[in-house]
Amino acid sequence: MTDSEPVIGPATYFRPEHRTGLDARTLALVDRREAVLSPGYRLFYAHPVEFVRGSGTKLYTRDGDEYLDVYNNVPSVGHAHPRVTAAIAEQSALLNTHTRYLHEGLVDYAELLLASFPAALDTLTLVCTGSEANDLALRVATGATGHRGVIVTENAYHGVTTEIAAISPSLGGVGSLAEWVRTVRPPSGDGTAMVADARAAIAALQAAGHGVAALIVDTAFASDGFIAPSAETRAALAAVQALVRAAGGLVIADEVQPGFGRLGTRGAGSGAAEATLWGFPRHDLEPDLVTIGKPMANGLPVAGLVARRDLMRAFGERVRYFNTFAGTPVSIAAARATWEVLHDEQLPEHAADVGDELRGMLAELAGRHDRLRGVRGSGLYLGVDVVDPESGDPDSPAAVALVSGLRERRILISASGRDNAALKLRPPLPFSRADAERFITELDGALEDLG
Amino acid sequence: MTDSEPVIGPATYFRPEHRTGLDARTLALVDRREAVLSPGYRLFYAHPVEFVRGSGTKLYTRDGDEYLDVYNNVPSVGHAHPRVTAAIAEQSALLNTHTRYLHEGLVDYAELLLASFPAALDTLTLVCTGSEANDLALRVATGATGHRGVIVTENAYHGVTTEIAAISPSLGGVGSLAEWVRTVRPPSGDGTAMVADARAAIAALQAAGHGVAALIVDTAFASDGFIAPSAETRAALAAVQALVRAAGGLVIADEVQPGFGRLGTRGAGSGAAEATLWGFPRHDLEPDLVTIGKPMANGLPVAGLVARRDLMRAFGERVRYFNTFAGTPVSIAAARATWEVLHDEQLPEHAADVGDELRGMLAELAGRHDRLRGVRGSGLYLGVDVVDPESGDPDSPAAVALVSGLRERRILISASGRDNAALKLRPPLPFSRADAERFITELDGALEDLG
């Protein structure tokens, strides 16, 4: 499983040979688009889809056809949520400046957000994208430690700036990484592999003169196959964290995708490990820096870095950093409204409940279709492998066929993973039990069609 | 003169010792802000200002006090322009997804935008910030050339990602640059210094094994003191461009600040060098890559890279690049509305006209006050030095005192430059003749106060 669009297999994309199957309007728009946008842009589906309207968990085409969205994690409180869009409209009509003037909204939001973190993580810096957040986290870490080395999991994805693409093996494999990057296996199984790898990575980085600036992990380990927290993962991560700290390095939790309740929250009073909007406490990780983004403002470019104050003080003394578009009144109004909807509609708790039901339905379906295997994940961030029924091996063509079949059945989903043979589910959080049933019915049908 | 907020002198910022002068409400908000935001955040002015509303070239405090904005270049078509805010509100309520589905608005906008560039620059990639645009441009250039070396002007500012901070001497001087960066003097005077420096930089980069990936220049050369196009600058830049190309490097024009008409446009039919929204044609530069941003969507985080198609095709074959928040329907609706207002209200032409008048008024004022010298710039992007009347040397304390004095007179402006002794003017483009007169009157008064 991978956690990011860039690593979704090319087979689910539109390619020139698909042109012949398109209606005239779609073909004309595709051709105009390809004439002006970079050839690096990709369109989903052999039969691309054009949406003009969204609401909740549904997207609508020009012709009014309704699609169920099991793919989009950015509009986390639902497409075009009226409270968020009203907040954006209202603030846009008033004022949109920057953080060098006082603005109460920024301070209010920062206080709300930081209250959801452990006390030591008391300092917020706003940026525009998850890539910028991880880029800044690494700048802080390399400056604070005086080291250059970075440790990532073996199929990690953290973003697209020059610096962050160089620590993202999922974008192009280990060969694309910078010389100061080492990979470790995720804390799966009994976790000993990760600890052994971390020991070796630290030794190698020190031997090469890079030292260890940071370990950075996606706390859902989504691109490494979704690692559920357990006594073993906690022990492994505690050991790795201690090794990194002993080498003078910092720990960065990348919550850009798992954060803001996507993994499901059990409620503050429950005493459960899931009584949090974030992934890192579930693994007992104690990060020095936490990056957040994607669902933060339900679609406006808002992201952030939450950190220990001493680290940011040292950074601020050493480096002048100002991000023009970050923390503006409109961005913050959108983030604040998203935060309020998340809480007022109890979406993280809903994600836990409906996620459990959906996982159960998927497991039941996997019991009836031997092409499905390995249902996993947490809350509304789930994955399931598509395999060859005979060999049990990952079956990328079948996964791609399912994604296409589901698109024709008006369900949006993606195939991803290192083998491009896993289905990844990450719908807007208001995803209902009825949505789950509709999805399962159509997946069942698409599996039947596959034979 | 510098072109970016990060390099504005610390003396114009709020510092702890200014707390004693604040009213209770401001003090409380400042204290709350400092408790949650990174110590790297800066507030303008010893007496920080809190705005709650903006319109055109004016900003308003909670108490209804009106300030004239001579500082903010992002809200380029005016604060809270009703057409832009209506477009944002309308699109937010409809749909905000990403570029992997078809959306007509994205294609329409790309066509409009690209029509303003030379035919060879025919391919658009959208990102969220100017830093991301320059970071991507360098990734494309290093990949296309197989080289690592980058040449920048000696006080350049290009952004804040790890990669781009490492090519921005204005953030921390030459010592903060990466080993694969060399600086050249800007094309001032007869331009021969820049050509000699470029020759040396290329030789040094090649000798160090880096080769030359790119020359990148801000086409207003704002942070290098605003270089006006002339026969000499054109000859110098043509020579440098040829040297860089001969070394296998590419040319990147950074239009993040000068672009979208800020330098003033003379009208397409005028035959003037200024018949363009961009800075690079004025210098006869022929860039391979152009980065754009800041005013592109009047405040929403929208930026882009305009490039030769062959470069982006090669990049797309080599690298998977997807930017979640870039080119979304809401971003594009804001950019489209900003573009339409810019044209319908003829703001680039207005910037040329009122910019000329303002420059004339400044020159007249400099004739009466020997503290002002060296009025320069183009359109509504102007600078003037503040000097010691006796020695003629840059006088940073006087510049800071003028900025503070103007703030008390409800005029927003900044002091910047390597010596922090220049006033920089870059108001929203609807800046009127009456606004210019008000500014000059208050600057005159602030100069009188200074004695």
Specify burial of residue B18 (Cβ count, 10 A radius: 0-12, 13-18, 19+): middle
Tens of pLDDT, residue by residue over B50-89, are 999 999 999 999 999 999 999 999 999 999 999 999 999 9
**pLDDT score, position A241:** 98
Q: Is A139 on the interface with B (CB under 8 A)?
A: yes
> What dihedral do alpha carbons B35, B40, B41, B43 form, nearest 10°?
100
* Residue linked to tokens 């430059």: B417
B125/A41 touch (CB, cutoff 8 Å), yes or no: yes
Crossing angle, helix B433-450 and helix B396-408, to 10 degrees? 120
Q: Which residues of B231-241 are buried (b: 16+ CB within 10 A; e: fewer)?
A: ebbbbbbbbbb
**Cα gap A186→A156, rounded to integer Å:** 9
The answer to whether residues B89 and B47 belong to one domain is: no
Give SS3 for A74: coil
The answer to whether residues B41 and B92 belong to one domain is: no
* Residue linked to tokens 């920080």: B48
Percent of chain B whose predicted confidence (pLDDT) is above 70: 97
**pLDDT score, position A8:** 38
**Cα gap B302→B133, rounded to integer Å:** 10
* Residue linked to tokens 């290329």: B202
In a domain, A21, yes or no: no
Confidence of residue B11 (pLDDT cuts 50, 70, 90): low
Q: Which residues of chain A have pLDDT under 50?
A: 1-10
| Distance separating the N- and C-terminal Cα atoms of chain A | 24
Beta strands in B203-333 (DSSP E): 212-218, 250-254, 289-292, 303-307
Q: Is B93 on the interface with A (CB under 8 A)?
A: yes
The answer to whether residues B18 and B115 belong to one domain is: no
The answer to whether residues B43 and B92 belong to one domain is: no
Question: In one letter, which amino acid is A31?
Answer: D
What is the total count of domains within chain B?
2
Please identify, among B327, B344, B361, the residue that sits at the C-terminal boundary of a domain.
B344
Please choose, from the candidates A425, A421, A426, the residue with its C-alpha nearest in 3D space to the C-alpha of residue A386.
A421
**pLDDT score, position A174:** 65
**Cα gap B225→B188, rounded to integer Å:** 9
pLDDT over 80 at B130, yes or no = yes
The alpha helices in B62-207, defined as continuous H runs, are 82-94, 104-114, 130-145, 162-165, 192-207
Would strands B212-218 and B149-153 be described as parallel, antiparallel, or unpaired?
parallel
A/B interface, count of CB pairs below 8 Å: 324
- CB-CB contact of B65 with B410 (8 Å): yes
Residues 6+ apart with CB under 8 A from B221: B153, B186, B187, B188, B227
- Bin A77: left if φ > 0, else alpha if -120 < ψ < 50, else beta: alpha
Chain B residues with CB inside 8 Å of A300's CB?
Answer: 96, 300-301, 325, 330
**Cα gap B45→A172, rounded to integer Å:** 47
The mean pLDDT value of chain B amounts to 94
| Distance separating the N- and C-terminal Cα atoms of chain B | 24
pLDDT over 80 at B99, yes or no = yes
**Cα gap B426→B403, rounded to integer Å:** 14
Q: Is B130 on the interface with A (CB under 8 A)?
A: yes
Q: What are phi and psi of A354, to 5 degrees?
A: -70, -30
In a domain, B427, yes or no: no
The answer to whether residues B90 and B45 belong to one domain is: no
**Cα gap B213→B148, rounded to integer Å:** 5
Chain B residues with CB inside 8 Å of A180's CB?
Answer: none
**pLDDT score, position B267:** 76
Reading the block at residue A137, the tokens are 């986290």
The answer to whether residues B256 and B338 belong to one domain is: yes
Residues 6+ apart with CB under 8 A from B227: B186, B187, B188, B220, B221, B233
**Cα gap B411→B442, rounded to integer Å:** 8
Would strands A58-61 and A51-55 be described as parallel, antiparallel, or unpaired?
antiparallel
Chain A residues with CB inside 8 Å of B111's CB?
Answer: 32, 36
**pLDDT score, position B289:** 98
Specify burial of residue A336 (Cβ count, 10 A radius: 0-12, 13-18, 19+): buried
**pLDDT score, position A11:** 58
In a domain, A222, yes or no: yes
| Dihedral sign, Cα of residue B185, residue B8, residue A101, residue A138 | positive
pLDDT over 60 at B200, yes or no = yes
Q: Is B83 on the interface with A (CB under 8 A)?
A: no
Read off the CATH number of the domain in which A230 is found: 3.40.640.10
Closest-CA residue of chain B to A60? B95
Measure CA B130 to chain center: 9
Crossing angle, helix B24-36 and helix A104-114, to 10 degrees? 40
User: A364 to chain B nearest CA, in Å?
Assistant: 32
A160/B123 touch (CB, cutoff 8 Å), yes or no: no
Q: Which site among A53, A59, A96 would you substitute to test the B interface, given the most B Cβ atoms closer than 10 Å to its Cβ?
A: A96
**pLDDT score, position A3:** 36
Chain A residues with CB inside 8 Å of B123's CB?
Answer: 36-39
**pLDDT score, position A10:** 45
B80/A97 touch (CB, cutoff 8 Å), yes or no: no
Q: Residues A103, A109, A114, CA angle at the centre, nearest 5°?
A: 130
**Cα gap A83→A105, rounded to integer Å:** 16
- CB-CB contact of B60 with B318 (8 Å): no
Q: Is A292 on the interface with B (CB under 8 A)?
A: no
Taking CA atoms, B73 is separated from A60, B68, B320, B438, in Å, by: 37, 13, 33, 19
The answer to whether residues B90 and B198 belong to one domain is: yes
Domain residues for the domain of B23 are 1-51
**Cα gap B278→B110, rounded to integer Å:** 16
- CB-CB contact of A238 with A215 (8 Å): no
The answer to whether residues B134 and B262 belong to one domain is: yes
**pLDDT score, position A1:** 30
Please, how many CA atoms are within 13 Å of residue A194, restricted to the half-sphere of its CB?
A: 29
**Cα gap B110→B113, rounded to integer Å:** 5
The answer to whether residues B340 and B208 belong to one domain is: yes
In a domain, A130, yes or no: yes
A37/B161 touch (CB, cutoff 8 Å), yes or no: no
**Cα gap B141→A228, rounded to integer Å:** 41
pLDDT over 70 at B293, yes or no = yes
Strand order in the sheet with B372-378: B372-378, B381-386, B422-425, B414-416
In a domain, B354, yes or no: no
**Cα gap A353→A49, rounded to integer Å:** 31
Give SS3 for B286: coil
The answer to whether residues B242 and B287 belong to one domain is: yes
- Residue B314: count of CB within 10 angstroms of its CB: 16
Tens of pLDDT, residue by residue over B178-190, are 999 999 999 999 9
Chain B residues with CB inside 8 Å of A123's CB?
Answer: 36-39
**pLDDT score, position A6:** 38
**Cα gap B425→B294, rounded to integer Å:** 16
Radius of gyration of chain A (CA): 22
**pLDDT score, position B2:** 32
**pLDDT score, position B417:** 79
In a domain, B404, yes or no: no
- Residue A346: count of CB within 10 angstroms of its CB: 15
Residues 6+ apart with CB under 8 A from B216: B134, B137, B138, B150, B151, B152, B156, B158, B167, B251, B252, B253, B254
- CB-CB contact of B1 with B225 (8 Å): yes
Reading the block at residue B439, the tokens are 């500014």
- CB-CB contact of A173 with A295 (8 Å): no
The answer to whether residues B228 and B304 belong to one domain is: yes
Would strands B250-254 and B181-184 be described as parallel, antiparallel, or unpaired?
unpaired
Q: What are phi and psi of A19, to 5 degrees?
A: -55, -40
In a domain, A394, yes or no: no
**pLDDT score, position B5:** 39
In a domain, B44, yes or no: yes
The answer to whether residues B7 and B90 belong to one domain is: no
**Cα gap B151→B295, rounded to integer Å:** 26
For residue B415, list its beta bridge partners. Answer: B423
Query: Residue range B354-379: average pLDDT?
Result: 97
- Residue B317: count of CB within 10 angstroms of its CB: 10
- CB-CB contact of A296 with A262 (8 Å): no
Nearest-CB residue to B102 (from A50, A74, A326): A50
